[in-house]
Amino acid sequence: MKVHIADDSEILRERVKMLLKDTPGIIISGESADCQETIESVNSDHPDIVILDIEMPGGGINTLRKIKQNENPPIVIMFTNYPLNAFKEKCYMFGAEHFFCKSTEFEQLPVVIEKIGKLNSSKKN
């Protein structure tokens, strides 16, 4: 599965890559630091999953809305330091499949991505 990491923090993008490097079947297909870069990359690379920061330049929720308008949109995991219910509700309303707090749920990313991979492979069979 191809994963795109969209976060304005290079340090966080590196941490996510390190966390996922041993997850079977995961290929980091791209990374971006702002809304426009993310949309362009998702439209050209067609990742299966996008890990999307809610507070990046151009707006994570705005980016979510735009990439979910694609014909075959990726699964989106919203990743934030602002796990407010209002943000969470908005993200789910615009099509996010998951919503994680960076500071308390970071380590759950590989587990969730593995589950997504298993679900996707069972759908194909």
Check whether 70 has a pLDDT greater than 50: yes
DSSP letter for 28, please.
Answer: E
Output the average pLDDT for the chain: 90
Predicted confidence at residue 23, as pLDDT, reads 86
Q: 64, 95 in Cβ contact below 8 A?
A: yes
Predicted confidence at residue 64, as pLDDT, reads 97
- The domain defined by 2-124 carries CATH number 3.40.50.2300: yes
Q: 77, 96 in Cβ contact below 8 A?
A: yes
Domain borders along the chain are: 2-124
When computed from its CA atoms, the radius of gyration of the chain, rounded to whole angstroms, is 13
Output the pTM of the full model: 0.92
Predicted confidence at residue 118, as pLDDT, reads 73
Predicted confidence at residue 125, as pLDDT, reads 47
Check whether 122 has a pLDDT greater than 60: no
